[in-house]
Structure 1
Amino acid sequence: MSAAGGPTGRASHPGTPGAEQIRRAPKVLLHDHLDGGLRPGTIVGLARDNGYEGLPETDPDKLGVWFREAADSGSLERYLETFAHTCAVMQTRDALFRVAAECAEDLAEDGVVYAEIRYAPEQHLEAGLTLEEVVEAVNDGFREGERRARENGHRIRVGALLTAMRHAARALEIAELANRYRDAGVVGFDIAGAEAGFPPTRHLDAFEYLKRENNHFTIHAGEAFGLPSIWQALQWCGADRLGHGVRIIDDIEVADDGTVQLGRLASYVRDKRVPLELCPSSNLQTGAAASYEDHPIGLLRKLHFRATVNTDNRLMSGTSMSREFEHLVDTFGYTLDDMQWFTVNAMKSAFIPFDERLAMINDVIKPGYAELKSEWLFRQTASTSASSAS
């Protein structure tokens, strides 16, 4: 039996959604990198405007293909190299503002109603911006993107997660920055970068500071590295969520007869309802899973872990939230009920106040899925009636 565990068997209750229904469904995104989601045309334009000559392609279509192929290597380290180009064109206020605004627009067009977008301010200082100027440019861009989305008939709310790089020594500084802007568009903190050799425990001072300030943080853990990374993120650092966390599957045994045995860490993660920021397409690129069929999300959903669906880097993976769900629907036979389950999980796990999360669930997410389910049932009834009449 594969780790994925096979389809859920609920394909007719209330119905397997098609591509258009998936796009229209309200979706929640918790794990998406700002510098991993640029439009290829924007990269080309910003490179031209700012005199950056390092792009491997200057045709937007060819550049998009290059990013996907370069990232599709099976190596997290090679995957991360692609970010040198996107970060290179995100060094001015205008560039950061534009990228953030387009990010919000693109997500809203894809049916995302709430998103937490992460980026590392320390990677955008080469042209003389201060950390504060970087944060304010991105926040302003998100607000502009939200405004443009409203004009186009879409609703989205975007919060920022400030990321510190695991290999650097600025985590406490970035954590303090996140705390200063926590009521001005920043909803939490993260650390990212290569896991091997850079454990989260190197940044304990930042996590202890955030806990003293009653602030939220997630940690990239359990992606390229295994269970020790997850254990440290939770037990030493106190992470609220696990960025990826896909390797928790290593602590779950599935016998030939289908019997499932959880190890103590996996049991802890499930019992504590620790949110897993799973990114299926990205995990395939970095070698964390061999295929969608073998991706642990199938089994984790069956076992009722707090699993969520995310994009990670839309440019590098050539993906969107709709495409991620399309892959899962095709692979596991997921229904609108399953999509709603993942979406409510994500909204419950967001880093905004409880009453605001609850309002999003009750006023936006559940009504949106109820409408889609009603449409599906209406079509089924009409189809049955037509068949009977003939």
Structure 2
Amino acid sequence: MPESLTPELIKTAPKALLHDHLDGGLRPATILELSEQIGHELPADTVEGLGAWFAESADSGSLVRYLETFDHTIAVMQTAEGLARVARECVEDLAADGVVYAESRYAPEQHLAGGLSLDEVVTAVEDGIREGEALAAEAGRPIRVDTLVTAMRHAAKSREIAELAVRHRDAGVTGFDIAGAEAGFPPTRHLDAFEYLRRENFHFTIHAGEAFGLPSIWEAIQWCGAERLGHGVRIVDDLTLDGVPVTEIETPYADWSPEQVSAVQLGRLAAYVRDRRIPLEMCPSSNLQTGAAPSIAAHPITLLDRLRFRVTLNTDNRLMSGTSMSREMELLVAEAGWGLRHLRRVSVNAMKSAFLPFDQRLEIIENKIKPFYDD
């Protein structure tokens, strides 16, 4: 294995991405252009100024300002042309960053203001993704991108959105998700949707354990049957060291000794998650912005990886966090002591956990990921 993990090497590393929001990854230049076409007012009128506004708002610590950023991205995603362009550019940007497989998620119910139907929204996104895949292949950066259709947990459309996802399962939609505020909107409100998806043999993940704690994770798994956990960072609340919750220990997890890690005790829920190999879709930079973690060095992803939970590394919202898969890897290398073996493990974990047929997952692992890391 290469001894020095330079940014150039990390960028060429083949990556797998499971948790990336389509409406959180737009190019500022695209937002400016599309906003001008539809007459939508923005807080800045230059690419640099708009990019800076998104970064400042996302890092402000104000939930109101953070949510306002999505008002502007979603506003330019209300036409078939806008949706297709955003999807196409998403694929191109991921491919340029070394991503070989990705699942991009979005909520169709948020893209109806321009008169599109739910099915037309999905079709427009899939058209854009297929075009992006073709352009990436022509550029010598082949990538496979599937989509997850998301229902908003505060709304009452989850069953309708679940049926929408299943209708498009042979056109690129590979899974279902619920997203939005956890507190006050437990996943059990959407049991009808999850029961329907299981009857249809369809995959789904659930945002849980980000802003809310263990009860949200427990409901997502034990009541709803989630195959993966979106974020799941709060599973760390179920870990103790010498009877002390690990969250109360000030030493960053990156600095823990092997003896400390081996002495960590897992609560029953944490043990179940690890034993069942339930994937955790972790997003370090985003978790810092939302207060789910205090720093990269103290982010639970490092401790959970050392405890051999099935951890995956993700971007969440590339625009709002000013990030990419390469940047997330660079941060963990620089601030949490990760090496190539850690990057290999999360990449293989992601492909093992992808909502692809087994043979297709295996093909990407054996032919794209392992050759880079094992040579």
Question: What TM-score results when the alignment is normalised by the length of structure 1?
Answer: 0.90
Alignment of 1:339-378 (within 5 A): 339-371=343-375
Trace 1:1-390 onto structure 2 (pairs within 5 A).
Answer: 15-53=3-41, 55-74=42-61, 78-255=65-242, 258=260, 259-371=263-375
1:374 aligned partner: none
Q: SS of the residue aligned with 1:82?
A: helix
C-alpha separation between the residues in 2 aligned to 1:369 and 1:293?
Answer: 24
With CA pairs under 8 Å and 6+ residues apart, which has the higher RCO, 1 or 2? 1
Q: Deviations over 1:162-210 (max 9, x none)?
A: 0000111100000000001111100000000111111111111000000
What is the Cα deviation at residue 117 of structure 1? 0.2
Distance in 1 separating the partners of 2:61 and 2:217? 21
Counterparts of 1:248 and 1:240, CA distance in 2? 15
Moved more, 69-78 or 133-142: 69-78
Which aligned runs of 4 or more in structure 1 are off by greater than 4 angstroms? 75-78
Q: In structure 2, how many angstroms separate the alpha carbons of the residues matched to 1:229 and 1:187?
A: 24
Equivalent-residue separation in structure 1 for 2:337 and 2:157 (angstroms): 44
- Note if contact 1:276-1:307 (Cα within 8 Å) is conserved in structure 2: yes
Aligned-pair distance for 1:276?
0.1
Tell me how far apart the structure 1 counterparts of residues 230 and 47 of structure 2 sit (CA, whole Å): 30
Offset at residue 73 of structure 1 (A): 3.2
**CA–CA distance in structure 2, aligned partners of residues 164 and 180 of structure 1:** 15
Seq. identity, %: 69
Q: Give a deviation string over 1:129-148, Cα, whole Å, max 9, x none.
A: 01011000000100111111
Q: In the alignment, residue 269 of structure 2 is paired with which amino acid?
A: L
1:104 is matched by which residue type in structure 2?
A: V
Residues in 2 aligned to 1:75 and 1:307: alpha-carbon distance in whole angstroms: 28
Aligned residues: 358
Pairwise CA distance, 1:16: 4.1
- Assess if the C-alpha contact under 8 Å between 1:76 and 1:194 holds in 2: no
User: Residue 146 of structure 1 contacts residue 155 of structure 1 at CA under 8 Å; is this kept in 2?
Assistant: yes
Deviations along 1:286-323, one digit per CA (max 9) or x if unpaired, are 00001011100110010000000000000000000000
CA RMSD of aligned residues (A): 1.2
Give secondary structure in 1 for the equivalent of 2:293. Answer: coil
**For the structure 1 residues 80 and 16, does the alpha-carbon distance in structure 2 shift closer, same or farther, using more than 3 Å as the test?**
farther
Amino acid in the other structure paired with 2:216: S
Whether the 8 Å contact between 1:76 and 1:224 is mirrored in structure 2 is no
Secondary structure of the 1:308 match is strand
Contact 1:125 1:131 in 2 (8 A): yes
For residues 52 and 333 of structure 1, what CA distance do their matches in structure 2 show?
Answer: 44
Please, which runs of 5 or more residues in structure 1 have no aligned partner?
1-12, 372-390
Deviation at 1:267, TM superposition (A): 0.3
Largest Rg, 1 or 2: 1
Does the Cα contact within 8 Å between 1:28 and 1:115 map onto a contact in 2?
Answer: yes
In the alignment, the residues of structure 1 paired with residue 187 and residue 62 of structure 2 have an alpha-carbon distance, to the nearest angstrom, of: 20
Structure 2 portions without partners, runs of 5+ = 243-248, 250-258
Q: Which stretch shifts more, 149-158 or 35-44?
A: 149-158
How many angstroms does 1:336 deviate by? 1.5
Question: What is the deviation of 1:72?
Answer: 1.2
Which whole-Å CA distance do the structure 2 matches of 1:77 and 1:162 have between them? 25
Q: Distance in 2 between matches of 1:79 and 1:59?
A: 20
AA paired with 1:132?
D
Give the Cα–Cα distance (whole angstroms) in 2 for the partners of residues 49 and 336 of structure 1.
45
